[in-house]
Amino acid sequence: MDAESVQLKDDNCTGRIVENDYSVVAVCLGTGGIAAGGENVFKKFEEEIKRQGLDAVVGKRVCKTAKTGCRGLCSKDVLVDVSVGGLATEIYERVTVEMVPQIVEEHLIKKTPVTKWLVKDDYHKFHDNQYRLVLGNCGIIDPDHIEDYIERGGYKALKKVLETMTREEVIEEIKRSGLRGRGGGGFPTGQKWASCTKYSADETFIICNADEGDPGAFMDRSLMEGDPHAVLEGMIIGGYAINATSGYIYVRAEYPMAVKRMNYAIIQAKEHGFLGKNILGSGYGLDIIVKEGAGAFVCGESTALQYSIEGKRGMPRTRPPQSVEAGLWDKPTVLNNVETLANVPIIINRGADWYSKIGTEKSKGTKIFSLTGKIKNPGLIEVPMGTTIRQIVFDMGGGIPKKRRFKAVQIGGPSGGCLPESLLDSPIDYESLLGVGAMMGSGSFVVVDDGTCMVELARFFMDFCARESCGKCPPCRIGTTLMLDILTRITQGKGEEGDIPLLEEMCGEVKTMSLCGLGQSAPNPIKSTLRYFRDEYIAHIRDKICPTATCIALHKYEVASEKCTKCQACIRNCPVKAISGSKTESAFIDKTKCIKCNLCYEKCNFMAIK
């Protein structure tokens, strides 16, 4: 992103504005916040505020509690904003029920923040290096209050479209913005919409694909939980552009909170005239239904998703015809994922020219990633296209914990690729990732350290792909299973000399002959690990050694006497008493007794166990 576009970070990325004599306590109640105890913290704040009489109007002063969606830095939950009128908003991290009375007493009443519990520098560094455009409302508004969304400009884009723009003008604006689909391959959104308008039928459908199935991915879930109306508004605008008569939001059933908040947002939107037969008096009507999926990974594929909505088994079909011609119930259908649709109101409000200044020449805008794995600051981030892997891992993520080294990042989920340390300065955009053997995918970003076995990592993802294969086409059904069997043998010390060329051959066949994009991309983890970490495969097969000591079947435990501090942690934790030693003698492992449980390796804090 160039210098000019950096300066565009303004009102959409700012926090809560609180008038004088008014206070707000906002508690993160996204999935991460709730898992950390956010609901109990929220209730305790309500109780304390009521007990102190702060919930009643005194002159002009009133205090209220509010819930928000994901704040981003999930490892610091429960995160709580305290905004006291006339003072800067302060953020508390890892708040527990026991901390609440003191925060209310000192901050809300005495207006003195409890500094020992405020967020530290890593929180600010995590956010300062982002560009929260699509996530601009998450963590700020109450997702269950449409008034909060409207107050921050919500449904302004829809009103503009219905009052001042033709369908063709809307599509042209999205085209000029350069917005590409955020769910996988990055197909141009405006082009997809335009293609759909070429086919006439008595019904046309728009579908929001919220079937987020990648391991470690929670971008779409967090958007639906934290800013559901942004997704709805983008979907309604898209529906207007293609003259859709009905819409579906296909959400995996494992996201109960997202389902609940999207359903409630639909009810509120109807009450305010943003959904229904005659939206804002424009004559255009659209109804949207939330459809819960059964959790099959393959239902993230567009045609399988449509079959699932129709009540059929979720399995891909051959194309052509494309969905824009004959999709749901053989009617013209457009599918966009959650993040793609949430970009639409921003583009309409700010303009295509403004939006296209963000990102790279061919990849415009920002991208949301779920940052997970061996990283100090896991969470939800949003960065301009073209941001490097290094910036995400070390500037936002804070680097690798426990003095380990960065080894690789898996981008794009089970269909993505593993990129090594030598590619840390690679920009993240559609073309660049494809060039190095990965793909954007939906946006999962899993970091691994030097203690991770890349063969085992490839086996893990192939196990996922094999289990999630719908089984319709033999190349995917049989190919993924055979590749999984080979990888499993290798990690068990039973690898053979011909396994590597056999894997490479099978990767090519599965990619070429599989019916859908999920099968075609399933070999990517194997291809990328063979490309960048081939030596680990060779060590497993020829030397029967796992260089990272991850594959237990290949373990041969020894103590490096020069590193042994004689702390006896390994001796205390060995369940079969296979380790001897004393405070004056280095530990020694009796290999005849060792059961390879790995406890000594895990408990040694000095890397003395090899």
| pLDDT tens by residue, 335-354 | 999 999 999 999 999 999 99
Q: So what's the pLDDT on residue 21?
A: 64
Which pTM value belongs to this model? Answer: 0.88
End-to-end CA distance of the chain: 45
pLDDT surpassing 90 at residue 9: no
pLDDT surpassing 60 at residue 13: no
Topology of domain 454-543, per CATH? de novo design (two linked rop proteins) (1.20.1440)
Which carries the bigger pLDDT value, residue 555 or residue 540? 540
Q: Note the CATH number of domain 18-128.
A: 3.40.30.10
**56 pLDDT tier (thresholds 50, 70, 90):** low
Mean pLDDT of 444-459: 94
Quick one: tokens of 293?
Answer: 């999926």
Mean pLDDT of 163-188: 94
172-176, 473-477, 494-498: which is most confident: 172-176
- The model's pLDDT over 297-312, given as tens digits with 9 standing for 90+, comes to 888 889 999 999 999 9
- Residue ranges with strand state E in 399-505: 406-411, 417-420, 444-449
Mean pLDDT of 574-585: 92
Q: So what's the pLDDT on residue 2?
A: 43
Q: So what's the pLDDT on residue 512?
A: 93
Nearest of 540, 552, 534, 561 to residue 495 by alpha carbon: 540
Q: So what's the pLDDT on residue 26?
A: 93
470 class by beta-carbon count within 10 Å (0-12 exposed, 13-18 middle, 19+ buried): buried
Share of the chain above pLDDT 90, in %: 74
Q: Which CATH number fits domain 366-449: 3.40.50.2300, 3.40.50.1000, 3.10.20.600, 3.30.565.10?
A: 3.10.20.600
pLDDT surpassing 80 at residue 6: no
Q: So what's the pLDDT on residue 337?
A: 94
d(CA 80, CA 518): 40
**20 pLDDT tier (thresholds 50, 70, 90):** low
pLDDT surpassing 90 at residue 554: no
Say how many C-beta atoms besides its own lie within 10 A of residue 598's C-beta.
14
pLDDT surpassing 50 at residue 7: no
Domain ranges of the chain: 18-128, 153-355, 366-449, 454-543, 555-610
Q: Note the CATH number of domain 555-610.
A: 3.30.70.20
pLDDT surpassing 90 at residue 597: no
Mean pLDDT over all residues of the chain? 91
pLDDT surpassing 70 at residue 12: no
What region, left, alpha or beta, does residue 167 occupy, with left being phi > 0 and alpha being psi -120 to 50 degrees?
A: alpha
Mean pLDDT of 171-198: 94
- Beta carbons of 278 and 319 less than 8 angstroms apart: no
| Angle between helix 219-226 and 228-242 (nearest 10) | 100
**57 pLDDT tier (thresholds 50, 70, 90):** low
Q: Note the CATH number of domain 153-355.
A: 3.40.50.11540
Q: So what's the pLDDT on residue 592?
A: 87
212 class by beta-carbon count within 10 Å (0-12 exposed, 13-18 middle, 19+ buried): buried
pLDDT surpassing 90 at residue 88: no
Per-residue DSSP letter, 329:
G
287 phi, psi to nearest 5 deg: -115, 140
